[in-house]
Amino acid sequence: MKIMCKWCKVSIFCHIVSEEVSDHHGAYGIDSIKMLKIKIHKHFKGKNYCKGSDRTITTPLDKVNDNKVHYN
């Protein structure tokens, strides 16, 4: 799987570490959403490591299926 890094604007490799179900307060009450923990591998920006590298992010499963994953 690839994700676009917001700091260096490069498409980088990552993989899913785990899945968990969390409750979300939506417009129609409490919904259960499957969340994924994604590990982003180390990558370079120029000569040094990018500050977005080697992170773990949490994102909803439906965004991964639609290729709309953005991370901070």
Token couple for 20:
């968990």
DSSP state of 69: -
Reduce the DSSP state of residue 30 to 3 states and report it. strand
The reported pTM is 0.63
Q: At 63, which helix (H) or strand (E)?
A: helix 61-65
Is the pLDDT at 69 greater than 70, yes or no?
Answer: no
pLDDT digits (tens, 9 = 90+) for 25-64: 777 888 788 888 888 877 777 778 887 777 788 888 777 7
Overall residue count recorded for the chain in this entry: 72
Q: At 17, which helix (H) or strand (E)?
A: strand 11-26
